[in-house]
């Protein structure tokens, strides 16, 4: 009897976890295994896949300068996007967290508003703003500052701009949650000990909000690194990101094995980043902003 | 009177000029709906016969005005006549669609509005083709022979698709900045002219880029001798290009907003822009690229229902209405079918019905080089 109870208690966690494990297994692990298996197949000249264990795709992806350069370009774009999101996003997050206005809920809803509009539509809106006959050129021409429209679209800057527009709410929400959790007495204590407002912010608020800033940065970096729509819509011929190569390998070239190897490279790289983050800051900080 | 007789009588009245096209389609729709409402008890009698009839067939196309034309002029009347629903989907390109089909079960996708003989050959090569019973598609006799024969050659004399329309990928230019004379004088080389740096566009499709690269390096696109010269032309074009567009909608937007002054473009889309009042010129250079579109039936599809839909879509009234909606000439032979007043004004229209003046992708040649060239173009367009 006692042995049976002990055995049941021993297995209880697994039984309770089983729905989650089955879901994760079917929706994440098994599809991922398919991708891993695919990456070792070969695409033949006829377009059919040759089943087997071939290292050709991996050899190509890991040794070819083309893939390395595009990967570095992707990381560079994601890095600058993240930095801009952190700097630009901190200000509204700080304002919302510290406002005495009664309409704080309204401000938070405003932050969520962009999520209700399609990402593609939001990205395309920049064409109407920055285009030759867009709002900015129209205004500058009307005021007489310029004689002919400026070419502002389809370059790396517009790609970063589009990504910042897409990812800024993620950063603001993470920082806001972190700022909300800071005990206001700590800032007041710092000021009572002689700090001015800026010093109190630098010595108390900023360090304590760092986990939120880091969580937002991680989200922004990972999402920016995996995007392909923004460079497709707002980029020029040379502004591709790594996900565009995955798209092309799978959709245009029908080379699923190579596309699988490419997507796994990106997955491993970003996964490593998440592991490092979790090791030092804990992944629960990201979850807080969605509670 | 059964549905077919009712339909034939209606069609006859329309052909005689007793009713106009709009009335024809409206009455056709109403007749179908009425049959659906009162046919319940009678329908029970033929239930067993209809057991093999699918409830729906899936059709995938290019979206935009093309899909709207199909929906309005072909699918709605077809559904009202047969009771078979046409589920309409869209794709951005034949490559993307093939990726979807490849990962699906046979029968999941049925009909597709595919581009060119090249795609027909590719789909056939991958074992995705079906075998049409041409006896079920009597309207096939009215289709331009030179559009059917290349398909037959690929699939051992059989057909897996019917040609539906054709067009060209010519040079589209903004007349405010580029004159007709300049476009005709420079031809394909207009798109490697330094004077228009930052105002040139191009389709982000490897085949078209290589075709135009061949023209720019004075070579036959279906028999390229110096491939490196072609890549050099593509690189030169790339360095002058503002944007490689990826859809017809983007092509129209870039030209209409004057982001670009010159690009190669699809004849029907350019006509749509012209009809909207944009002063866009269109010119097919020597060796310009012609293509046909076909309605391909994928392996595992309900053949009888698909063949009936194909025959319905090839009815001159339907094909002309769709052609006028999408601005591409129908595949119907103008020597066999009266195409009305608008079709002869469409760009790329060939009144002879032979299409002798157009150049098409040689499927064997291009399929042979697809893997290597598509991969290399991916690199070249990114600066390599």
Cβ-contact A166, A123 below 8 angstroms: yes
What predicted TM-score, i.e. pTM, was given to this entire model? 0.81
Residue A197 has pLDDT above 50, yes or no: yes
Give the model's pLDDT for residue B20. 53
Half-sphere exposure of A197 (CA within 13 A, CB side): 0
Chain A CB contacts of B380 under 8 Å are none
Q: CB B98 to CB A254 under 8 A?
A: yes
A42 touches chain B (CB under 8 A): no
Q: Which among A133, A151, A253 has CB closest to B198?
A: A151
List, for residues A261-279, the tens digit of each pLDDT value.
999 999 999 999 999 988 8
User: From the CA of A252, how many Å to the nearest CA of chain B?
Assistant: 5
Q: CB B374 to CB A253 under 8 A?
A: yes
User: From the CA of A164, how many Å to the nearest CA of chain B?
Assistant: 21
List, for residues A114-148, the tens digit of each pLDDT value.
888 999 999 999 999 999 989 999 999 999 999 99
* Interface probe with A: pick from B103, B125, B209, B371, most Cβ of A within 10 Å: B371
Q: CB A236 to CB B241 under 8 A?
A: yes
CA pair distance B258, A168, nearest whole angstrom: 31
Q: CB B259 to CB A46 under 8 A?
A: no
3-state secondary structure A117-165: CCHHHHHHHHHHHHCCCCHHHHHHHHHCCCCCCCCCCCCHHHHHHHHHH
Q: CB B243 to CB A237 under 8 A?
A: yes
A251 touches chain B (CB under 8 A): yes
Chain A CB contacts of B238 under 8 Å are 237-238
A20 touches chain B (CB under 8 A): no
Residue A232's closest chain B neighbor by CA? B246
User: From the CA of A77, how many Å to the nearest CA of chain B?
Assistant: 15
Q: CB B382 to CB A238 under 8 A?
A: yes
Cβ-contact B68, B248 below 8 angstroms: no
User: From the CA of A234, how many Å to the nearest CA of chain B?
Assistant: 9
Can you give the C-alpha Rg of chain B in angstroms? 22
Residue A238's closest chain B neighbor by CA? B382
> Which of A1-15, A248-262, B281-295 is the least confident region?
A1-15
Residue B94's closest chain A neighbor by CA? A252
Residue B243's closest chain A neighbor by CA? A236
Residue B202's closest chain A neighbor by CA? A237
Q: CB A47 to CB B125 under 8 A?
A: yes
Please state the φ and ψ torsions of residue A265, each to the nearest 5 degrees.
-60, -45
Q: Residues of chain A with pLDDT > 90: what percent?
A: 73
Q: From the centroid of its chain, how far is CA B42?
A: 40
Residue B123's closest chain A neighbor by CA? A47
Give the model's pLDDT for residue B30. 44
Q: CB A237 to CB B241 under 8 A?
A: yes
Structure tokens at B186: 């420079």
- Output the DSSP codes for chain A: -HHHHHHHHHHHHHHHHHHHHHHHIIIIIHHHHHHHHHTTSEE-TTS-EE-S---HHHHHHHH-HHHHHHHHHHHHHHHHHHHHHHHHHHHHHHHHHH---TTHHHHHHHHHGGGGS-HHHHHHHHHHHHSTTSHHHHHHHHHTS-SS----SSSHHHHHHHHHHHHHHHHHHHHHHHHHTS-HHHHHHHHHTT--HHHHIIIIIHHHHHHHHHHHHHHHHHHHHT--HHHHHH--TT---HHHHHHIIIIIS--HHHHHHHHHHHHHHHHHHHHHHHHHT-THHHHHTT-
Give the model's pLDDT for residue A126. 95
User: From the CA of A285, how many Å to the nearest CA of chain B?
Assistant: 38
Q: CB B378 to CB A245 under 8 A?
A: yes
Chain A CB contacts of B368 under 8 Å are 45
Q: CB A66 to CB B241 under 8 A?
A: no
Give the model's pLDDT for residue B37. 35
* Interface probe with A: pick from B94, B100, B257, B370, most Cβ of A within 10 Å: B257
A245 touches chain B (CB under 8 A): yes
CA pair distance B306, A146, nearest whole angstrom: 58
A254 touches chain B (CB under 8 A): yes
Low-confidence ranges of chain B (pLDDT < 70): 1-53, 65
pLDDT band at residue A287, thresholds of 50, 70 and 90? low
Give the model's pLDDT for residue A260. 97
Q: CB B242 to CB A66 under 8 A?
A: no
Q: Which among A45, A48, A237 has CB closest to B238?
A: A237
Which structural domains are found in chain B, ordered by start? Answer: 3-39+52-166+291-345 (3.40.190.10), 167-290+360-380 (3.40.190.10)
Interface of B with A (CB under 8 A): 93, 95-96, 98-99, 102, 122, 125-126, 198, 206, 238, 241-244, 246, 253, 257-259, 368, 370-371, 374-375, 378-379, 381-384
Q: CB A252 to CB B381 under 8 A?
A: no
Chain B CB contacts of A132 under 8 Å are 257-259
Give the model's pLDDT for residue A284. 64
Average pLDDT of the segment spanning A281-285: 66
List, for residues A199-243, the tens digit of each pLDDT value.
999 999 999 999 999 999 999 999 999 999 999 999 999 999 999
CA pair distance B116, B254, nearest whole angstrom: 25
Residue A48's closest chain B neighbor by CA? B126
What superfamily would CATH give domain A64-288?
A: MetI-like (1.10.3720.10)
Q: Number of A:B CB contacts under 8 A? A: 72
Q: CB B122 to CB A240 under 8 A?
A: no
Residues 105-164, chain A, touching B (beta carbon < 8 A):
127, 131-133, 151, 153-154
Residue A132's closest chain B neighbor by CA? B259
Residue B241's closest chain A neighbor by CA? A237
Q: Residues of chain A with pLDDT > 70: what percent?
A: 96
List, for residues A73-120, the tens digit of each pLDDT value.
999 999 999 999 999 999 999 999 998 887 888 888 888 888 889 999
């Amino acid at each position: 009897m006692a042995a049976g109870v002990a055995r049941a208690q021993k297995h209880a966690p697994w039984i309770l976890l089983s729905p989650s494990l089955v879901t994760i297994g079917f929706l994440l692990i098994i599809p991922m295994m398919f991708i891993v298996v695919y990456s070792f197949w070969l695409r033949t000249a006829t377009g059919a896949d040759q089943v087997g264990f071939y290292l050709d795709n991996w050899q190509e992806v890991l040794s070819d300068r083309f893939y390395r350069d595009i990967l570095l370009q992707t990381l560079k774009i994601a890095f600058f996007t993240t930095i801009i999101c952190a700097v630009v996003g901190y200000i509204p997050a700080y304002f919302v967290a510290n406002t005495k206005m009664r309409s704080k809920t309204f401000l938070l809803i405003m932050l969520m508003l962009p999520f209700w509009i399609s990402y593609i539509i939001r990205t395309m809106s920049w064409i109407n703003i920055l285009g030759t006959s867009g709002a900015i050129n129209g205004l500058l021409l009307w005021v007489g500052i310029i004689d002919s429209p400026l070419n502002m679209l389809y370059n790396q800057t517009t790609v970063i701009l589009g990504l910042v527009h897409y990812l800024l709410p993620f950063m603001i929400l993470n920082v806001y949650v972190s700022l909300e959790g800071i005990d206001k007495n700590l800032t007041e204590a710092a000021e009572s000990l002689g700090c001015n407002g800026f010093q109190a912010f630098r010595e108390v608020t900023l360090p304590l909000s760092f986990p939120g800033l880091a969580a937002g940065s991680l989200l922004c970096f990972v999402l920016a690194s995996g995007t392909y729509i923004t460079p497709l819509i707002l980029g020029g011929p040379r502004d591709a990101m790594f996900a565009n190569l995955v798209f092309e390998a799978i959709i245009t070239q029908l080379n699923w094995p190579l596309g699988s190897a490419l997507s796994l490279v990106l997955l491993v790289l970003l996964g490593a980043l998440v592991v490092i983050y979790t090791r030092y800051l804990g992944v629960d900080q990201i979850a807080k902003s969605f509670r | 009177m059964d549905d077919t007789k009712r339909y034939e009588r209606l069609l006859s009245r329309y052909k005689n000029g007793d009713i106009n096209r709009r009335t024809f389609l409206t009455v056709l729709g109403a007749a179908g709906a009425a049959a659906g409402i009162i046919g319940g008890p009678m329908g029970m009698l033929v239930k067993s016969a209809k057991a093999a009839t699918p409830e729906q067939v899936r059709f995938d196309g290019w979206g935009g005005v093309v899909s709207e034309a199909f929906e309005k002029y072909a699918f709605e009347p077809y559904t009202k006549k047969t009771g078979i629903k046409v589920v309409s989907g869209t794709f951005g390109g034949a490559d993307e669609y093939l990726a979807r089909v490849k990962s699906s079960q046979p029968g999941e996708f049925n009909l597709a509005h595919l581009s060119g003989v090249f795609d027909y050959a590719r789909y056939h090569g991958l074992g995705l083709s079906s075998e049409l019973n041409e006896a079920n598609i009597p309207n096939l006799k009215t289709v331009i022979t030179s559009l059917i024969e290349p398909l037959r050659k690929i699939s051992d004399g059989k057909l897996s698709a019917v040609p539906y329309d054709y067009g060209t990928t010519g040079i589209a230019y903004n007349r405010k900045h580029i004159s007709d004379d300049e476009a005709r004088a420079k031809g394909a080389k207009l798109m490697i002219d330094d004077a228009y740096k930052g105002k040139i566009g191009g389709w982000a499709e490897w085949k078209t880029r290589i075709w135009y690269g061949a023209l720019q390096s004075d070579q036959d696109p279906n028999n390229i001798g110096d491939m490196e010269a072609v890549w050099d032309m593509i690189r030169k074009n790339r360095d002058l290009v503002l944007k490689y567009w990826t859809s017809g909608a983007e092509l129209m937007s870039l030209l209409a907003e004057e982001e670009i002054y010159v690009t190669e473009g699809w004849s029907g889309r350019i006509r749509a822009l012209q009809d909207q009042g944009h002063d866009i010129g269109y010119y097919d250079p020597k060796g310009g690229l012609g293509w046909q579109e076909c309605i391909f039936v994928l392996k595992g599809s309900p053949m009888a229902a698909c063949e009936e839909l194909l025959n319905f879509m090839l009815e001159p009234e339907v094909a002309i209405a769709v052609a006028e909606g999408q601005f591409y000439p129908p595949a119907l032979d103008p020597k066999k079918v009266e195409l009305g007043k608008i079709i002869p004004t469409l760009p790329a229209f060939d009144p002879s019905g032979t299409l002798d003046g157009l150049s098409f992708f040689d499927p064997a040649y291009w399929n042979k080089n697809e893997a290597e060239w598509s991969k290399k173009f991916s690199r070249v367009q990114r600066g390599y």
